[in-house]
């Protein structure tokens, strides 16, 4: 028996690259951008016929724009925060700074940043809004771990592991005004950015103390409005055993303290934000997400995002990894939209609420300090943990050196 063929090999590395994908000219309308070189390259790209030369130009555009698949988004990203701050001062626009694992101009960045490229940055309305109202910047928290599974018969599967991303709204001095954690739907993303933008613009006129007072008042008010918005969404159906009450019963020691509160709030009938925050069940947050989308806007991919989604050639796993047929792509898009609906609701109503509370209760917070808190407390991947929670010090692997390779 060929053991190598029977057992897939799993390794972790840092990788990048991938196929060159490009939209047809009809898929993307060229827009004027501030950077002359990028504008010129996009104009050349739009005038070319599909082929290897056009694909090569798309990769060059990615490097100039600072983003993979920039021919779809038409966005320019700064890598240098000082450069972003200079543009912010010159234009009067605040900064939107993406913090992520890996690099935005590579295929294998962390999962959320890949979703942003498809669902948000390629979205025609979101792209136009970002170009008109924000200076864009991104930085890497750390390299993203990549799992390489070798099945031993010529098939290799690549996946990124762990990691999360957040969009920081900064003023022209690089001071944080707000943070949007994780994946948002296009409508919710623009709504949150539009709300934060006036304060980010006017922050330029404030010293640190005055800005801290403004931020405390701003986020305190938003926290209360979030509670009111959540309470006004309506009712959801109980998920049976897939509820917070069921989860509490599994933890007997703390159930004695917390279960009476859960019963009083009647989660599953009357919505209560604090109780719902304890419940990560898919059924609960799918319902909450649908209710929120009904108020804000459906969490859907627009035609340009759908085109990029299809251009990434999702695999038909039933046919040895061949591309999905069109009907299968449509089904996969619908499934992704459901995930986006659910995640956007949880990120906005629970994680963003925690950010509001931190701003409202703490003193002046710089980017580095705030980012450490976001990754440690919200994303549970503190900078002090080099293994991103994947270390197994109490588990015997039977592999020499536990399979750790130090380069």
The residues, any chain, with a CB within 8 Å of residue 31's CB and separated by 6 or more, are: 74, 127, 128, 131
For residue 372, is pLDDT > 80? yes
For the stretch 86-98, pLDDT in tens is 999 999 999 999 9
- Tell me the pTM: 0.84
Give the pLDDT band (50/70/90) at residue 113: very high
20 close to 58: Cβ distance less than 8 angstroms: yes
pLDDT on residue 234:
84
pLDDT on residue 68:
97
Q: Buried b / exposed e across 258-289, counting CB within 10 Å, b at 16+?
A: bbeebeebebbeebbbebbbebebebbbbbbb
Give the pLDDT band (50/70/90) at residue 288: very high
Separation CA 93–CA 131 (nearest Å): 10
pLDDT on residue 351:
96
Separation CA 270–CA 307 (nearest Å): 40
pLDDT on residue 24:
41
Averaged pLDDT for residues 380-404:
89
At residue 199, φ and ψ (nearest 5 deg) are -65, -40
Q: What is the pLDDT of the chain when averaged over all its residues?
A: 85
For residue 385, is pLDDT > 50? yes
For residue 259, is pLDDT > 60? no
Structure tokens at 338: 């459901």
Cα 125–chain centre separation:
18
For the stretch 318-370, pLDDT in tens is 887 789 999 999 999 999 999 999 999 999 999 999 999 999 998 667 999 99
Give the HSE-up count for residue 78: Cα atoms under 13 Å, Cβ half-sphere: 18
What angle (nearest 5°) sits at the alpha carbon of residue 118, between those of residues 373 and 81? Answer: 45
Q: Buried b / exposed e across 231-252, counting CB within 10 Å, b at 16+?
A: eebeebebbeeebbbebbeeee
pLDDT on residue 271:
57
Nearest-Å Rg of the Cα atoms of the chain is 23
Averaged pLDDT for residues 164-175:
97
pLDDT on residue 70:
96
For residue 395, is pLDDT > 60? yes
Greater confidence (121 vs 255) lies with: 121
At residue 98, φ and ψ (nearest 5 deg) are -90, 125
For the stretch 206-258, pLDDT in tens is 999 999 999 999 999 999 999 999 988 988 775 544 444 444 334 444 344 44
pLDDT on residue 266:
42
Q: Nearest Cα to 115, choosing from 381, 374, 335?
A: 335
pLDDT on residue 238:
54
For the stretch 46-68, pLDDT in tens is 999 999 999 999 999 999 999 99
pLDDT on residue 240:
46
For residue 129, is pLDDT > 90? yes
Q: Nearest Cα to 64, choosing from 73, 208, 14, 214?
A: 73
For residue 198, is pLDDT > 70? yes
145 close to 163: Cβ distance less than 8 angstroms: yes
CA distances (Å), 10 to each of 13, 116, 121, 156, 159, in order? 10, 27, 32, 10, 10
Supply the angle between the helices 282-296 and 186-202 in degrees, to the nearest 10: 60
Q: Where are the beta strands (DSSP E) in 184-279?
A: none
pLDDT on residue 364:
64
Q: Which residue has tokens 């920039």?
A: 70
Give the pLDDT band (50/70/90) at residue 162: confident
pLDDT on residue 31:
37
């Amino acid at each position: 028996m060929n053991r190598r063929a029977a057992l897939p090999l799993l390794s972790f590395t840092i990788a990048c690259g991938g196929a060159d994908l490009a939209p047809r000219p009809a898929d993307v309308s060229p827009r004027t951008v501030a950077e002359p070189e990028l504008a010129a390259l996009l104009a050349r790209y739009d005038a070319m016929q599909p082929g290897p030369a056009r694909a090569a130009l798309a990769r060059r555009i990615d490097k100039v724009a600072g983003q993979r698949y920039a021919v779809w988004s038409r966005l320019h990203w700064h890598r240098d925060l000082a450069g972003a701050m200079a543009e912010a001062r010159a234009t009067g626009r605040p900064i939107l700074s993406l913090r992520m694992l890996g690099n935005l101009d590579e295929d294998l960045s962390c999962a959320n940043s890949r979703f942003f490229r498809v669902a948000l940055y390629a979205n025609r309305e979101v792209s136009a809004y970002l170009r008109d109202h924000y200076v864009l910047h991104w930085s890497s928290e750390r390299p993203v771990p990549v799992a390489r599974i070798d099945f031993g018969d010529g098939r290799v599967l690549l996946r990124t592991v762990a990691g999360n991303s957040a969009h920081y709204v900064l003023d022209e001095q690089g001071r944080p005004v707000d943070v949007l954690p994780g994946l948002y739907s296009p409508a919710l993303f623009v709504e949150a950015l539009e709300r934060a933008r006036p304060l980010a613009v006017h922050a330029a006129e404030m010293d640190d103390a005055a800005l801290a007072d403004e931020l405390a008042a701003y986020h305190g008010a938003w926290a209360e409005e979030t509670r009111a918005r959540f309470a006004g969404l309506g009712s959801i159906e109980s998920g049976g055993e897939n509820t917070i009450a069921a989860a509490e019963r599994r933890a007997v020691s703390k159930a004695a303290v917390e279960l009476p509160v859960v019963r009083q709030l009647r989660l599953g009938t009357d919505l209560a934000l604090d109780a719902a925050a304890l419940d990560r069940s898919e059924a609960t947050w799918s319902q909450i997400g649908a209710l929120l989308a009904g108020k804000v806007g459906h969490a859907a991919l627009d035609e340009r995002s759908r085109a990029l989604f299809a251009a990434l050639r999702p695999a038909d796993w039933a046919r040895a990894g061949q591309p999905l047929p069109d009907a299968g792509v449509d089904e996969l898009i619908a499934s992704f939209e459901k995930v986006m609906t659910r995640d956007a609701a949880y990120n906005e109503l629970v994680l963003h609420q925690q950010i509001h509370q931190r701003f409202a209760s703490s003193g002046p917070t710089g980017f580095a300090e705030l980012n450490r808190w976001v990754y440690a407390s919200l994303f549970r991947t503190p900078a002090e943990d080099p293994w991103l929670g994947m270390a197994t010090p109490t588990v015997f692997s039977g592999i020499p050196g536990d399979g750790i390779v130090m380069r």
